[in-house]
Amino acid sequence: MLAVVKEGPGPGFALREVPVPQPPPGWVRVRVRAVGICGTDIPIFEGIRKVPYPLIPGHEFAGEIDALGEGVQAWHVGERVAVGLVIGCGTCAACRRGEENLCPHITEIGIHINGAFAEYVLAPEKTLHRLPDHLSFADGASVDPVASSYRGIRRLNLQPQDDVAIFGLGPIGLYALQAVRAHGVRRVIAITPRRGLRAEIALRTGADAVIESAQAQDLVSAVREANHGAMPSVVIEATGKPEVFHDVFRVAAPGARVLLLGIFHEHAQFDPAQIIRKELRVEGSFCYTWDDFEASLDLIARDLVRTAPVITHTLPLAHMAEALRLIHQREAVKVILEP
């Protein structure tokens, strides 16, 4: 089968033929129909994030079950599935209370073991979710980034009176925006360095205003003005950029909840006095559980979160280099590849 292989620690990848894998007991083989390129895949390709080599990356995927390992009874060949990347050990305290994302022995498909930038991928049956008939494989491949946003958002306990500011309009920020909107909050303000495609998508998918942080003289005043004189009661950080961190706490209203969704690859500095003096409640959120994934699939199935505005490009798997160029030059938001 054709696969995108990360061969070693240097930058780049190889596009080559590899053997079709056989599913072990309790696992299935999935014929990949759609796989998204994630922000996490970029540092893997660049060699910044180390993975066991050689590795086939790719963890945002959906397809059809193609073969069953021994003992698999709840699934059959030909079934359409979306697949979560988290494989917990199943026996630690975190796994036993259903928080396998916090498992100290976590295995992630496409990061620790071979993933879906290939024609076929293996997955344990406990990571499978049935993809409803009316959803596309691209929808199925988008559940992962939706769930990565939605895990934190569920814990914010959003109210109709909440005003929400979101930093960052990549796929995670844009899906957070729609998931927040689905809760019927009062106002959503999106903050991005400069206007462009992402800001347009934000306005089309429910943002009341977009603030260009690179243009704003004073970001706090700009946010207050866009929010009819009040500071937001909820702030979501979805950039993962250390330079943004400081502003996240500054724009929050006293007593606000702050959700950190962006993954920081560099050290970030901030003033803890902002958290103390305003009594901010700061929530971290990492990846998702089986239940977050199922809830996110339901949001997409009910059209409360739409993937079409966020998916800007669909390309064949062999066009990986072109896809990475589009992302690097910020021409694309979410790219879906079809093996």
List Cα–Cα distances, 97 to 105, 155, 260, in angstroms. 15, 16, 23
Stretch that binds Zn ion, among 87-95, 165-173, 200-208, 288-296 (CB under 5 A): 87-95
- For 157-192, give the DSSP string: ---TT-EEEEE--SHHHHHHHHHHHTTT-SEEEEEE
Closest CB to Zn ion among 280 and 333? 333
Taking residues 45 to 84 in sequence order and writing x for each that binds Zn ion by CB under 5 A, - otherwise, the string is ---------------x------------------------
Site for Zn ion contains 300 (CB under 5 A)? no
Q: How many residues bind Zn ion (CB under 5 A)?
A: 8
- Please tell me whether residue 95 binds Zn ion under the rule CB under 5 A: yes
Rounded to a whole number of angstroms, the distance between the first and last alpha carbons of the chain is: 10
**Interface characters, 124-163, with Zn ion (x: CB under 5 A):** --------------------x-------------------
Compute the distance between CA of residue 59 and CA of residue 84 in angstroms, rounded to an integer: 8
Residue 272 Cβ vs Zn ion, minimum distance, rounded to whole Å:
30
**What is the spatial distance between Cα 283 and Cα 285, in angstroms, rounded to a whole number?**
7
Instruction: For residue 60, give the nearest of 179, 140, 152 by alpha carbon.
Output: 140
CB of 144 to Zn ion, least distance (A): 5
The alpha helices in the chain, defined as continuous H runs, are: 41-46, 93-96, 137-155, 171-181, 197-204, 219-226, 242-250, 272-277, 290-301, 320-328
d(CA 88, CA 101): 7
Q: Which DSSP symbol is given to 52?
A: P
Answer for which of 4, 38, 87, 185 binds Zn ion (CB under 5 A) is 38
Q: How far is the CB of 170 from Zn ion (least distance, A)?
A: 11
- Distance separating alpha carbons of residues 328 and 333, to the nearest angstrom: 10
How near is the Cβ of 100 to Zn ion at its closest, in Å? 6
* Rg, Å, the chain Cα set: 20
Binding flag, residue 92, Zn ion (CB under 5 A): yes
Q: Could you tell me which stretch among 91-99, 110-118, 254-262, 270-278 binds Zn ion (CB under 5 A)?
A: 91-99
x/- mask, Zn ion, residues 178-217, rule CB under 5 A, reads ----------------------------------------
User: 35, 37, 86, 103: which one contacts Zn ion (CB under 5 A)?
Assistant: 103
Our finding on whether 88 is near Zn ion (CB under 5 A) is: yes
Interface with Zn ion (CB under 5 A): 38, 60, 88-89, 92, 95, 103, 144
